[in-house]
Structure 1
Amino acid sequence: MDPLENVLSLLETRGYLSSGLVAGGSWAVAFDPPEGVKFNTVRRGRCRLAVDGLPDEVDLAEGDCFLLTRPTAFRLAGGEPTTPVPAGPLFAAAAVTHGGPARTGEGADVDLIGGGFTFGARARALLLDALPPVLHVPAGTPEAATALWAIGQVDAELRQDRPAAGLVAEHLAVVMLIQVLRRHLATDPRSTSGWLAGLGDPVVAPALRALHTHPDRAWTVAALARTAAVSRSTMAARFRDVVGRGPVDYLTGWRIELAADRLRRGADTISVIARDIGYGSESALSVAFKRVTGQSPASYRRAHAPTP
């Protein structure tokens, strides 16, 4: 199984569309730290993105899109520098008065549409912390074109109120997320870390695919080395250098993530989960699970049980 698909499925990735922003002249809007991941696409005009903690602004042109992976305040601006207005009241007023995009400045030189993604509890540890704070996809790339198309389709679905429009919109938004991640992994893999960095490595990537496809197998470093046609020592050294830990440690961590997900969301017995992810017995899984999480599987399940 493809590791990126595997992780996104595990994280219960959900996308949503928010109100657009139309601006002109000299303007600036300050946004509070977003929950989850924020994205925007520039449908018309040019503007600048500034993110707290980053030294440089990002120039955005028509057709560009960007993704913010941290809960950090940010600003969008155009024209000459000016004092930012807070985004919250601006968007709230637009919803009350006309239900359309928020508007600021003078004119309509710039048109942005965006939204965000929400994830399950493990998103930051498994995915977001491995990414840089901003992913910028410039216009003219296939990924930017797909993102712009997907957002346009989401907008159309929600405006026309078609049957199952919410579900279609959600899936189209996730398509956009995948395109942005693909672009980043193909063009700037060095700015990622952990298993994401491994996806761009010719030695590590086949091993990661094998581990994610068959986590129940009794993998050894030698067996993983054969998937990439390299020596055992090369696989061990490269995997640790790129991913940050050895392949066997990575497999243990991934198995525990799978077990934790099933404990949170399902009713399978611990022994069934243990068998499915490669542990010979319930006690073997319990030992590994407690070593990694600090809790037994039973305690973890009780702690994460849905509230009645």
Structure 2
Amino acid sequence: MDDPLSDLLSRVRGRGAVLSRAAHGQRWGVRQLDPAASLTLVVPVRGTCWVTVDDEPEPGVTPVDGAERKPLLIGTGEAALIAGPRPYTLGHAPDAEPELVVHGPGRYSDAAGHPSAGPEVTGVRTCGYPDHPGTSLIVTGSYPHAGAVDARLLRALPPLLRVRSDELPRPVVELLTEEVAVAAPGQQAVLDRLLDLTLVRVLRAVFARSDAPAPRWWTARTDPVAGPALRALHAHPERPWTVEVLARAAGVSRATLARRFGDLLGSSPMAYLTEWRMSLAADLLDAPDTTVAAAARAVGYRDEFAFSTAFKRHRGTTPTEHRARTGGRSDAG
């Protein structure tokens, strides 16, 4: 795979994604403080929804009241994309007072912090009464942990983004809305894949906007100097690359490649390669049938010690600790 965008989007992968639909009356407000949601899609299927994202990026620290917020109105057929984890509020108006605060799955309080039983559950993944006339119907899908979405992808996104109706794959959204309320064997896997597909389509459209500030790797992919080197690194991260070899692939001198690559991507080719290798290795280690040694070889390391050292330096944890946290089989490393 030699397309950096495809590489990043292929790593948007739900495992137990949290999806729900909620029907609201004329006046409503919900505050979300879940510290684990790394990326959230909010879709008003009927009615509208104001979304307010706090400037403070650490959920659980910001109080319910007093935070600086930026309201955005999302209409029917549009969506809000929230890059987290960070607190946000949904409501009928930009200044809607939250009647419910969500601290995580199954943990609720009122605005004053007193424990609450939570919303009225009226169906499978459903709160309120969707068939009542005059209600707003909001579908929400989020990834429950940061590992499900590549950190570089999250860094490329603003905290809150409106997704236009022409950027949403309507048949997929309609199917997602329908499937959220279904109870059937394997349904979680169905919802995970539907959310993945919806988000990939949305992100691809967002990054292609002519008026949007493009991430560095989006601009660099078509550059005549940095582009060939970037594609080579993504196509074969396991190869023993050097700046000289990459420069030959781009048809320029080492100095020219290093300067252009740094200008566009903010790092040297070798630093970019190491970061990309560690991201790929983390993904490989999530699989229970991949050993630490196999992950190391797949990203170009023959020495497990060198791999483990690089992994800890870039990821803040050893490969073995990473596997234990994500449920992979423990191996020496």
- TM-score, normalised by the number of residues in structure 1: 0.76
Q: Choose which of 151, 156, 161 in structure 2 pairs with 1:130.
A: 156
State the partner residue of 2:7. 6
Does residue 1:115 correspond to 2:141, yes or no?
yes
Return the offset for 1:299. 7.1
Indicate which of 179, 182, 200 corresponds to 1:157. 179
SS in structure 1 of the partner of residue 147 of structure 2: coil
Q: Structure 1 residues 122, 80: CA separation in 2 closer, same or farther (over 3 Å shift)?
A: closer
Following superposition of structure 1 onto structure 2, how do residues 59-74 of structure 1 map, counting pairs within 5 Å? Answer: 59-74=73-88
Secondary structure in 2 matching 1:217: coil
Measure, in 2, the Cα distance between the counterparts of 1:99 and 1:272: 39
- Using the TM superposition, give the Cα deviation of residue 164 of structure 1 relative to its aligned residue in structure 2, in angstroms: 3.7
TM-superposed deviation, 1:99: 7.1
Matched residue of 2:203: which SS? helix
Cα RMSD (Å) = 3.9
Q: Specify which of 26, 32, 46 is matched with residue 44 of structure 1.
A: 46
How far off is 1:288 after superposition?
Answer: 4.0
Q: Distance in 1 between matches of 2:117 and 2:171?
A: 24
Count of residue pairs the alignment pairs up: 301
Tell me which moved more, 211-220 or 256-265: 256-265
8 Å Cα contact 2:229/2:246 also seen in 1: yes
Q: Map of 1:172-187 to 2, 5 A cutoff? A: 172-187=194-209
1:256 matched residue in structure 2:
278
**Partner SS state of residue 241, structure 1:** helix
Deviation at 1:199, TM superposition (A): 4.7
Deviation at 1:170, TM superposition (A): 1.6
Query: What letter corresponds to residue 210 of structure 1 in structure 2?
Result: A
Inter-CA distance 114–236: structure 2 relative to 1 (3 Å threshold): same
Query: Are the equivalent residues in 1 in contact too, given 2:20–2:126 (CA < 8 A)?
Result: no
Asked if 1 retains the 8 angstrom alpha-carbon contact of 2:21 and 2:137, the reply is: no
SS at match of 2:300: coil
Unaligned residue ranges in structure 1 (runs of 5+):
none
Q: Deviations over 1:51-90 (max 9, x none)?
A: 1226542122221111111222222333695533225569
Distance 1:222 1:120, change over 3 A: same
2:230 to 176, 197, 208: 208
Q: Give CA-to-partner distance per residue, 1:184-210, whole Å, 9 cap, x none.
A: 211168646564664575654443332
Q: Contact 2:285–2:328 (CA<8 Å) still a contact in 1?
A: no
Equivalent residue letter for 2:14: T
Which amino acid in the other structure matches residue 190 of structure 2? V
Q: Please, which of 220, 243, 255 is the counterpart of residue 221 of structure 1?
A: 243
Higher helix share: 1
Q: Which residue in the other structure is 2:260 paired with? A: 238
Corresponding position of 1:92: 118
Q: Judging changes above 3 Å, is the alpha-carbon distance between structure 1 residues 102 and 161 closer, same or farther for their aligned structure 2 residues?
A: closer
Looking at structure 1, the residues matched to 188 and 316 of structure 2 have their Cα atoms a distance apart, in angstroms, of 39
CA gap 1:29/1:302 in 2 versus in 1, 3 angstroms: closer
Whole-angstrom distance in 1 between the partners of 2:201 and 2:305: 41
In structure 1, C-alpha distance between the alignment counterparts of 2:242 and 2:23, rounded to whole Å: 53
Which residue does 2:191 correspond to in 1?
A: 169
Cα 1:44–1:268 change in 2 (3 A) is closer
| Partner SS, residue 208 of structure 2 | helix
Q: Secondary structure at the match of 1:93?
A: coil
Does the 8 Å CA contact 1:271/1:282 hold for their aligned counterparts? yes
